[in-house]
């Protein structure tokens, strides 16, 4: 395992991009990709938690006893999720309201716990930081791709993240494909995206 930090970072972007290659963390990707703003916001929040918890767990990896490690990881992750919750309430309240219960639910996002167990518990701080950042960015990009598709065709608009400006994409005469912003469309889009990823990523 003598990989450089750069390699740990890039593997999260394509080779092991979380929601597609490792089929983990599907709930947020289905639920918050109605608009681009929600998708990116959720991605950034998850990345923050991933990076912080990966680093802290990697620092503590020799201190945490083996038998209770999962409980320790959950406490660390839950702490950072609470930090994100409070930060978002303070600085991005409208987004916090839109994402609703999905912010506290980052705690049970399998990606975060999965990386803690599979990577941070065995590797150094720098590698864990790179791994967390790579996975987080990969997750954010997947959310972005799916939410751009769903928002443009589902509501005919595009909400720019961070400044909350709604851009009309097709103009007023466009009849939105409303099916896509509802639950069935979410499942269908994700299934087809997975199919495209499989086609592109032939071994």
Partner 1 sequence: MGDYFLLAISCIFVNNILLMQYLGNCPFLGVSKKMETALGMAMAVVFVLVLAGAITWITNNLILKPFGFEYLRTLAFILVIAALVQFVEMFLKKSIPALYAGLGIFLPLITTNCAVMGVCLINIKEEYTFVQALVSSFTYAIGFGLALILFAGVRERILLARVPKPLQDTSIGLVGAGMMSLAFFAFKGMA
Interaction site with partner 1 (CB under 8 A): 23-27, 30-31, 70-71, 74-75, 78-79, 81-82, 85-86, 100-101, 104-105, 107-110, 113, 182-188, 190-192, 194-196, 198-199
Quick count: other Cβ atoms within 10 Å of Cβ 165? 10
- Smallest distance from the beta carbon of 43 to partner 1, in angstroms? 16
C-beta closer to partner 1: residue 113 or 133: 113
C-beta closer to partner 1: residue 67 or 173: 67
- Smallest distance from the beta carbon of 198 to partner 1, in angstroms? 4
Cα 82 to Cα 186: distance, rounded to the nearest angstrom: 28
C-beta closer to partner 1: residue 59 or 195: 195
Q: Which of 200, 142, 148 is nearest to 34 (CA)?
A: 148
C-beta closer to partner 1: residue 171 or 191: 191
Query: What is the radius of gyration, based on Cα positions, of the chain?
Result: 18
C-beta closer to partner 1: residue 16 or 85: 85
- Smallest distance from the beta carbon of 118 to partner 1, in angstroms? 14
- Name, in order, each residue with C-beta under 8 angstroms of 111's C-beta and a sequence gap of 6 or more: 18, 19, 22, 24, 25, 46, 50, 135, 139
Q: Using CA atoms in the order 173, 177, 181, 185, what is the torsion angle rounded to 10 degrees? A: -170
- Smallest distance from the beta carbon of 158 to partner 1, in angstroms? 22
Cα 95 to Cα 85: distance, rounded to the nearest angstrom: 11
- Smallest distance from the beta carbon of 3 to partner 1, in angstroms? 27
Let me know: does 131 contact 13? Beta carbons within 8 Å: no
């Amino acid at each position: 395992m003598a990989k450089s930090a750069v390699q740990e970072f890039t593997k999260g972007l394509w080779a092991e991009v979380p929601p597609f290659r490792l089929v983990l963390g599907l709930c947020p990707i289905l639920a918050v990709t109605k608009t681009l703003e929600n998708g990116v916001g959720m991605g950034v929040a998850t990345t923050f938690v991933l990076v912080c918890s990966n680093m802290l767990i990697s620092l503590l990896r020799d201190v945490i006893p083996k038998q209770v490690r999962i409980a320790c990881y959950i406490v660390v992750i839950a702490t950072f999720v609470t930090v994100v919750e409070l930060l978002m309430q303070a600085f991005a309240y409208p987004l916090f309201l839109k994402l609703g219960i999905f912010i506290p639910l980052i705690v049970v996002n399998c990606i975060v716990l999965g990386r803690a167990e599979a990577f941070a518990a065995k590797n150094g701080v720098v590698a864990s930081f790179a791994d967390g950042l790579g996975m987080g960015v990969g997750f954010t990009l997947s959310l972005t791709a799916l939410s751009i598709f769903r928002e443009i065709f589902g509501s005919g608009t595009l909400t720019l993240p961070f400044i909350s400006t709604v851009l009309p994409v097709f103009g007023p005469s466009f009849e939105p494909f409303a099916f896509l912003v509802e639950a069935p469309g979410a499942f269908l889009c994700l299934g087809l995206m997975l199919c495209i990823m499989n086609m592109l990523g032939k071994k």
